[in-house]
Amino acid sequence: MDRTTLDLWVGIFVAAGVAALVGLSMKVGNLTSSNLGVTYSLHADYENIGGLKVRAPVKSAGVVVGRVADIHFDDTTKAAVVTVNIDTRYHFDKDTIAPIYTSGLLGEQFISLLPGGSDENLKNGDKIGKVQNALVLEDMIGKFLTSKASETNDKKAE
Amino acid sequence: MSDTIVEINNLSFAYNSRLLHKGINMRFPRGKVVAIMGGSGSGKTTLLRLIGGQLAPSEGEVRVDGRVVHQQSRDEVYRMRRKMGMLFQFGALFTDLSVFDNVAFPMREHTSLPESIIRDLVLLKLNAVGLRGARDLMPAELSGGMARRVALARTVALDPAIIMYDEPFAGLDPISMGVIVNLIRNLNDALGATSIVVTHDVHETFSFVDYVYFVSNGVVVAEGTPDDLRASEMPFVHQFVHGEADGPVPFHYAAPDYRQDMLRGVNV
Amino acid sequence: MFDRMNRGLRNIGHRFIDRIWRLGSASRFFFYTLALSGESLRRFHLTVREIYFTGVLSLIIMLVSALFVGMVLGLQGYNTLQKYGSSDAIGVLVALSLVRELGPVVTALLFAGRAGTAITAEIGLMKATEQLSAMEMMAVNPIARVVAPRFWAGVISMPLLAALFSMMGVFGGYLVAVPLLGIDDGAFWSQMQASVDFREDIVNGVIKSFVFGIACTIIALFEGYDAPPTAEGVSRATTRTVVNSSLAVLGLDFVLTSFMIG
């Protein structure tokens, strides 16, 4: 085969391969949606983060506004310190509450940001004061069972 | 510049702990065509590889242009090989390249000549072997004799000072053989090169070489000009030159006495 | 009896040592190839030519296999997911299996069978017909001129082939899920995009196929270069290429996956 035809075929092959890679990233993967651009970071301390993972979404009103950047355990306060990166386009005030929610009954966990009423906004490196721990399914079931049990005990006592 | 371009001094070579050469001495004078002859399996081809630096001797040395080959660095060996050409037994043409590209290969690898000059040089070399018209064929389309000639054109592409031939006549018809004989002699004289021909073809070889070494059992058993050897009374040379079945090289592989062997029966 | 056991043991030991020895010479071959890669990158048309033979010529078998693998994944996945009432997640299942595992692994296995054997046979025959020796005597290093361009061609081709495989597989899954099984088009893509992560899944898949590319190509080249120069030697080497490449790919896949997940 002459060299130019060969080069042409290889060119087509490489172009198709690169296109497939880009296609995978855009169409199949979440490269476009996870692209946050410039971010600033905030911290929050939780007693229990449940199954929260690094890179889990941070949502406000259901829209992804950032991602969990780091999770570590603080030995002095015995709390989980979660660092989140928030897109600089979005601003949250100092009274913002940051509960950990679960999407669906068994879905992935994410941090939700519920705006408060303060006039001052959180800046890079600030700490979110008001948090709400993750709901742990086992705890809930446990509570439910004990309350049921005490109910039936009460009924028996009557 | 000494008269000897390649010399082999007291060379021993063992292959898989089997001693193939036991102290060989040879001289190859500039401008001559020298043949190395011997039976099959006597390590003639290995000698060529030792000269080309593809193998290192167990003892002794090979000197090319006064320098010991196996003591040079890899780069230096490669530089020395640019002055050597080797024609392999079946040509060893690159099967994925055309005749033209095969001959152009060493030029493209070692020179930065423009394509127009390479074309002229390739056609010159192909013309010398009479195959200018076959430039666009692939090696698979060539006959054995033609392939050998193309390989020869490739071997001399960079005008080497030493040309080595490994069994150049193997499997050729008489006409092709005659063509190769003429080419070896003419190319050698035209290029002012030195040729080393490894072969066991007595009659063809004696007709054109200047000097002959006979190798047997790892040593040089006889040497001389073709005329000397033809007249030689040495039993081995006599047997080899006249192609006799039995002699110093026995017809029978080493075995116990035939009669005793038969009488012993099957119960060992 | 004791003698036979002794001989058997010695045989096993001998084969074990032989394997280790071959592993050593293959590694040396690999580093040697890397060290002599300059020429194949400087004269890149040598590598481009080999990309044609390893990459472009493997394309058809890859794409057809990918289409079927994707379609089977779609059917099987639908069957299982339906029992849990989550057949919408079929896109996730197809995409994740392909991008993370099947894309790189099946591509590498097909590559070993299609391109790897061709490389081994070609190099083995070049050796058997003294073409490599001839090259050496022409002061051209066959590792630099023959081996290195094929190596880089394999390393470049494999991730591209794997990406095309995954893409085609997702398309095959789509064909089964949406027109055939009636899954909602939007749900198929959006669920997939929500669950397939660029860094965790796609980049890791590309890393895998890159590593497989190195392993498969170097095994094929080494087996060819190391083959005894006879017809039987070359045919055995070709078989060994498929066996060793497949084992290497599956073993490396486990190691890489455990690194990536752990």
Which one-letter amino acid corresponds to residue B249? V
Measured between CB atoms, does A33 come within 8 Å of chain C?
Answer: yes
The widest CA-to-CA distance across chain B, in whole angstroms, is 76
Contact call for C138 and B89, based on CB within 8 A? no
Most confident of B107-111, B234-238, C60-64, C200-204: C60-64
- Interface check A70 vs C, CB under 8 A: no
Question: Is A137 part of any domain?
Answer: yes
C192 contacts A10? CB cut-off 8 A: no
Contact at CB, C202 and A27, closer than 8 angstroms: no
Beta bridge partners of A130: A97
Question: What is the pLDDT averaged over residues B248-260?
Answer: 76
Question: Nearest Cα to C241, choosing from C127, C108, C141?
Answer: C108
Q: Are residues A21 and A74 in the same domain?
A: no
Q: Is A79 exposed, middle or buried (0-12, 13-18, 19+ CB in 10 A)?
A: middle
Instruction: Identify the H or E element spanning B195.
Output: strand B194-199
Same domain, yes or no: A61 and A109: yes
End-to-end, the C-alpha distance of chain C in Å comes to 49
The token pair at B207 is 């007709």
Cβ atoms of residues B224 and B14 within 8 Å: no
pLDDT, average across residues A40-61 = 83
Cα separation, C257 vs C262, in Å, equals: 8
What percent of chain C lies above the pLDDT cut of 70? Answer: 99
Q: What share of chain B is helix, strand, coil (3-state, %, to 5)?
A: 40, 25, 35
pLDDT at site A7: 87
Of C122, C57, C81, C96, nearest to C193 (Cα)?
C96
Residues A71 and A127 in one domain: yes
Rounded to a whole number of angstroms, the distance between the first and last alpha carbons of chain B is 65
From chain C, the residues in CB contact with A5 under 8 A are none
Structural domain includes residue A13: yes
Most C CBs within 10 A among A30, A32, A59, A108, hence the mutation to make, goes to A30
The answer to whether C18 faces chain A, any CB pair under 8 Å, is no
Q: What is the DSSP secondary structure assignment for residue A127, as one 8-state letter? A: B
- A50 in the same domain as A26: no
Determine, for residues C133 and B88 on separate chains, whether the beta-carbon distance falls below 8 Å: yes
Chain segment B42-63, per-residue pLDDT in tens: 788 888 888 988 888 888 888 8
Amino acid making up residue C5: M
Token pair 């070692």 is found at B110
Rounded CA separation C166/B169 (Å): 56
Average pLDDT, chain A: 81
CA distance C183 to C171: 14
CB contact under 8 A, C138 and B109: yes
Reference C46, options A18, B157, B96, B111; nearest CA is B96
- Measured CA to CA, the distance from residue C39 to residue B110 in angstroms comes to 13
Domain assignment present for A58: yes
If you average pLDDT over residues B23-48, what whole number do you get?
85
Interface residue of B76, B96, B142 to substitute, partner C, most C CBs within 10 Å: B96
Q: Does B82 touch chain C (CB under 8 A)?
A: yes
| Same domain membership, residue A55 and residue A122 | yes
| Residue A107 sits in the same domain as residue A80 | yes
Residue of A nearest to C189 (CA): A28
The least confident of A14-23, B73-82, C157-166, C181-190 is C181-190
Q: Where are the alpha helices (DSSP H) in chain B?
A: 44-51, 74-81, 99-110, 115-128, 144-155, 174-191, 202-206, 226-230, 235-242, 258-263
Report if residue A151 sits inside a domain: no
**All residues at 6 or more sequence positions from C59 whose CB lies less than 8 Å from its CB, including other chains:** A13, C161, C164
Asked if B86 lies within 8 A of C134 by C-beta distance, the reply is yes
Question: For B90-104, B245-259, C64-78, C85-99, which range has the lowest pLDDT when averaged over its residues?
Answer: B245-259
Say whether residue A21 is in contact with chain C using an 8 A CB cutoff.
Answer: yes
* C170-193 burial code (b ≥16 CB/10 A, e <16): bbbbbebbbeebebeeebbbebbb
Contacts of C129 in chain B (CB under 8 A): 90, 92, 95
Cα–Cα dist B253/B240, whole Å: 17
Q: Are strands A63-74 and A57-60 parallel, antiparallel or unpaired?
A: antiparallel
Residue type, A86: I
Distance from CA of C122 to the nearest CA of B (A): 10
Rounded Cα distance, C94 and C181, in Å: 14
Taking the Cβ of residue C155 and every Cβ of chain A, the question of whether any pair is shorter than 8 Å is answered with no
Q: What is the 8-class DSSP label of residue C180?
A: I
Decide if C193 and A55 are in contact by the 8 Å CB cutoff: no
Q: Which residues, including other chains, have CB under 8 Å from residue B158's CB and lie 6 or more apart?
A: B82, B85, B106, B107, B110, B111
Report yes or no: B9 at the C interface, CB cutoff 8 Å: no
- Which residues 196-215 of C have a C-beta within 8 angstroms of A? 196-202, 206
The pLDDT assigned to B266 comes to 65
**Same domain (yes/no): A57, A109:** yes
Total domain count, chain A: 2
Dihedral sign for Cα C238, C239, C244, C249, please: positive
Q: The pTM is what? A: 0.79
Mention every residue, 6+ apart, whose C-beta is less than 8 A from residue C187: C88, C91
Cross-strand bridge partners of residue A71:
A82
- Residue B80 predicted with pLDDT over 70: yes
Q: Coil, strand or helix: which one is B218?
A: coil
Do A50 and A116 have their domain in common? Answer: yes
Q: Per mean pLDDT, which range of B252-261, C18-27, C94-103, C114-123 is the poorest?
A: B252-261
Tell whether A149 is covered by a domain: no
Q: Which of C44, C45, C46, C51 is best to mutate for the A interface (most A CBs within 10 A)?
A: C51
C163 contacts A21? CB cut-off 8 A: yes
Q: Give the ipTM.
A: 0.82
Same domain, residue pair A22 and A69: no
User: Do A28 and A43 belong to one domain?
Assistant: no
Cβ contacts below 8 Å, chain B against chain C, sum to 50
Residues B125-149 as b/e (b if ≥16 CB within 10 A, e otherwise) read: bbebbebbebbebebeebeebbbbb
Task: Kindly tell me whether chain C and chain A come into contact, counting contact as 3+ Cβ pairs under 8 Å.
Answer: yes
Whether A73 is covered by a domain: the verdict is: yes
Domain membership flag for residue A153: no
Distance from CA of A58 to the nearest CA of C (A): 14
CA–CA separation, B116 and C71 (whole Å)? 55
- How far are the Cα atoms of B219, B238, B249 from residue B233, in angstroms, in the given order? 19, 6, 15
**Residue that is written with structure tokens 């592993």 in the block:** C23
For residue A158, name the pLDDT band (cuts at 50, 70, 90): low
CA pair distance A133, C144, nearest whole angstrom: 62
**Euclidean distance between CA atoms C101 and C261, whole angstroms:** 12
CA neighbor of C138 nearest in space, from B106, B53, B184: B106
Do residues A24 and A50 share a domain? no
Q: Is B64 left (phi over 0), alpha (psi -120 to 50) or beta?
A: beta
* C215 vs B177 pLDDT, higher one: C215
Q: Where in the sequence is the domain holding A104, given as residue range(s)?
A: 39-143
- Residue A158 domain flag: no
Same domain for A55 and A23, yes or no, is no
Task: Categorize the per-residue pLDDT at C168 as very low, low, confident or very high, splitting at 50, 70 and 90.
Answer: very high
Q: C touches which chains (3+ CB pairs under 8 A)?
A: A, B
- Could you give the CA distance from residue B121 to residue B125 in angstroms, rounded to a whole number? 6
Contact B85 C137 (CB under 8 A): yes
